[in-house]
């Protein structure tokens, strides 16, 4: 069960909020290995039952899809960075590490290498999950260097095209012309096409998509993690609009993502020939 993944240190138990104790006591995600997936979302506590993001924030829904898709949640470490994404991690019962803003791919590299050295007999997955400010802007060097070094990690960027958590500054992922509260003159150059940069920088698998379709996100996450585990770096850019900064209501995030499926976030998918071969083999073995 979930306590194997998530166990509260007895010394701190008396000061833990009741939600955290509840998460440990009633977690069900790892109780079984055959009942895992998107379908279990409504009844699995570890998959973000509650969160402190804005109501209707697509980042929260997207994180649920990512978590539900992990092939081995009990052997996965998620490395996060500061931003709205980081507000969700205290609410999930899986191994997560909060790294200094922008450093996430360097931190993930260290964790992955040490895990492989310490547990050579166990397959451990390391997944970076951070915003566009952390991934494509302040942390861009660290992101790319981990691709260049061919680290066995998956990088997932929750691209809301803005530094949301600090009130609306532009990032490299902001589209040209976009005005935000703290970027009043408008972005002067085009959005960095990170999913293409990932390919030229050595990723074996790279996708650009929105979080409008849970099954599509889950499929991409599983494939990317398997490719990272056996071949090398993989990248997913997932559009999760900041409804607050673009002036949408809580119930309008899904519509925005569906519209963008046909426009700026029309799907892009790159799979290297080695990765194609690997995925075909995993499919044949029933692991995908
Ligand atoms: C080293 C460091 N630099 C800057 C910050 C300030 N900071 C906190 S959150 C944030 C913006 C995060 O933007 P993004 O990565 O796009 O995530 P989002 O909030 O949009 O999900 C920044 C700049 C920080 N916490 N630490
Ligand atoms: S500010 Fe934007 S990204 Fe952050 S929680 Fe609110 S809607 Fe989501
Ligand atoms: Mg952002």
Residue minimizing CA distance to atom 1 of ligand 1: 101
Ligand 1 atom closest to the Cα of residue 171 is 16
Cβ-based neighbour number of residue 118 at 10 Å = 9
pLDDT in tens, 122-158: 999 999 999 999 999 999 999 999 999 999 999 999 9
Q: Is the CB of 160 under 6 A from ligand 2?
A: yes
Asked if the model's pLDDT at residue 28 lies above 70, the reply is: no
Asked if the model's pLDDT at residue 256 lies above 80, the reply is: yes
Ligand 2 atom closest to the Cα of residue 83 is 4
Q: Is the CB of 88 under 6 A from ligand 2?
A: no
pLDDT for 142: 98
Q: Is the CB of 164 under 6 A from ligand 2?
A: yes
Q: What domains can you pick out in the chain, each with its CATH number? A: 35-284 (3.40.50.970)
Ligand 1 atom closest to the Cα of residue 81 is 15
Region 259-288 average pLDDT: 95
Q: pLDDT higher for 68 or 269?
A: 269
pLDDT for 223: 98
Q: Please report, rounded to a whole number, the percentage of residues in the chain having pLDDT higher than 70.
A: 94
Asked if the model's pLDDT at residue 30 lies above 60, the reply is: no
Asked if the model's pLDDT at residue 2 lies above 70, the reply is: no
């Amino acid at each position: 069960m979930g306590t194997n993944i998530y166990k509260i240190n007895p010394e701190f138990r008396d000061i833990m909020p009741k939600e955290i104790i509840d998460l440990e006591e009633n977690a069900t995600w790892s109780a079984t290995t055959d009942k895992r997936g998107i379908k279990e979302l409504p009844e699995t506590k570890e998959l973000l039952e509650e969160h402190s993001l804005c109501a209707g924030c697509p980042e929260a829904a997207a994180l649920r899809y990512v978590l539900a898709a992990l092939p081995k949640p009990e052997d996965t470490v998620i490395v996060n960075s500061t931003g709205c994404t980081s507000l969700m991690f205290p609410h999930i019962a899986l191994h997560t590490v909060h790294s200094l803003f922008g450093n996430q791919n360097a931190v993930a590299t260290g964790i992955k290498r040490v895990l492989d050295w310490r547990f050579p007999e166990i397959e451990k997955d390391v997944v970076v999950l951070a915003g566009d400010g952390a991934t494509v802007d302040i942390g861009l060097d660290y992101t790319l260097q981990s691709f260049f070094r061919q680290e066995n990690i998956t990088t997932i960027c929750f691209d809301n095209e803005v530094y949301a958590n600090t009130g609306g500054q532009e990032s490299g992922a902001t589209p040209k012309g976009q005005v935000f509260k703290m970027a009043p003159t408008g972005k002067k150059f085009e959005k960095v096409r990170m999913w293409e940069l990932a390919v030229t920088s050595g990723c074996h698998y790279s996708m650009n998509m929105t979080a409008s379709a849970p099954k599509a996100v889950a499929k991409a996450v599983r494939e990317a993690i398997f490719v990272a585990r056996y071949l090398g770096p993989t990248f997913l850019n997932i559009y999760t609009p900041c409804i607050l900064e673009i002036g949408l209501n809580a119930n309008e995030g899904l519509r925005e993502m569906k519209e963008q499926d046909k426009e700026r976030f029309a799907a892009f998918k790159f799979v290297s020939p080695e990765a194609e071969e690997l995925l075909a083999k995993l499919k044949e073995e029933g692991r995908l």
